[in-house]
Structure 1
Amino acid sequence: MGARRDYYRDPNAPKANSLKPGGSALVVDEAGRVLMQRRGDSGNWSLPGGIMELGETLEDCVIRETREETGLDIEITGLLGIYTDPEHVIEYADGEVRQEFAIVYYGRAIGGEIEVSHESTDVRFLSLDELSGLPVHPTVRLRLQHHQERSNLPRLE
């Protein structure tokens, strides 16, 4: 097993023992492509994001994590949704089993240049059609589907 393993609606999933607030950015370029990173720990394509640290807002966390993971500076432009499904847990090699708690913001690139971080093997803007044939976790596909539906209201899942 890599550093993490995601379980989604799996009756054999381990019981969660942790809950930490996290956030992600859904950044779209002028061509409608979404900023994605290929995670080094799972091989899946995912939105940039991470866990909030003491002393920062969740918006600050998403801006920081996006810069660290993709090289791009962003500004927050809206809210896609709040994702807290207890049937999505992430098991880490150290024994932590974290229940999903992710708030996904819309963001816009305002500077920087795309670069791969120590957490990813690739970073680029991809169309939704391109993503349909790539490894993407079902919970990230759900977020992309919500984006594609373009609802004006934040999603609560």
Structure 2
Amino acid sequence: MASMLSALRGYLARKIPWWTVRLTQPSFLVSVVALLRTPDGRILLLENRFWRGGRWGCPAGYMRRGESPEQTAVRECREECGVVPRDLRVVSVLPQSPHRVEIWCTGTIDIEVAPSALQSWEITGADLLDLDAALARMRRSQAAMVRELLAQA
């Protein structure tokens, strides 16, 4: 009985955030992911309470109606960790499903240490890592995209 309750709790922990997004967002979802680097080349990673398959990755969030991808990246970074990115530009648009697209932006951040006063209940950690350490820690799908984007730069 305890294992069944544990399994149900895990299932609900994964499904409730997804259905919350689906019910509060437009029927076509656009997510924006921001690859942000410091002047010395470190990458900002955030730990998200709800991500499966690796909780660390680039700041990301859903675009609101009327926002540009760059505005979404700025809003999400402010909301999640209090960081304000600059020099943002869209570098990739990837279809994820018939109802979702993912837009990648790159930009810079002028910080020396990772944010410690996290602004969002969904973000549980932040770190600034060199490329190899970031790729080793982040979600596999994001790591592949970061490698591709940096190879193009």
The amino acid across from 1:21 in the alignment is V
Q: Which string of whole-angstrom CA distances, capped at 9 and with x for unpartnered residues, describes residues 3-29 of structure 1?
A: 35xxxxxxxxxxxxx531121211101
Deviation at 1:110, TM superposition (A): 5.0
In structure 1, the partner of 2:40 is 31
The amino acid across from 1:104 in the alignment is W
How many Å separate the matches in 1 of 2:124 and 2:142?
18
Alignment of 1:67-86 (within 5 A): 67-86=78-97
Which protein shows a greater Rg?
2
TM-score (norm 2): 0.69
How many Å separate the matches in 1 of 2:87 and 2:139?
24
In structure 2, the partner of 1:109 is 109
Alignment of 1:36-75 (within 5 A): 36-42=45-51, 43-75=54-86
Uncovered stretches (5+) of structure 1, i.e. residues with no partner: 5-17, 87-97, 153-157
Deviation at 1:100, TM superposition (A): 4.3
Tell me the percent identity: 22
Uncovered stretches (5+) of structure 2, i.e. residues with no partner: 1-10, 16-26
TM-score (norm 1): 0.68
Equivalent of 2:134 in 131, 134, 138: 131
Aligned length: 126
How many Å separate the matches in 1 of 2:96 and 2:67?
24
More helix by share: 2
> Higher relative contact order by CA 8 Å / sep ≥ 6: 1 or 2?
1
Is contact 1:25–1:107 with CA below 8 Å preserved after alignment? yes
More strand by share: 1
In structure 1, the partner of 2:31 is 22
The amino acid across from 1:62 in the alignment is A
RMSD: 2.5
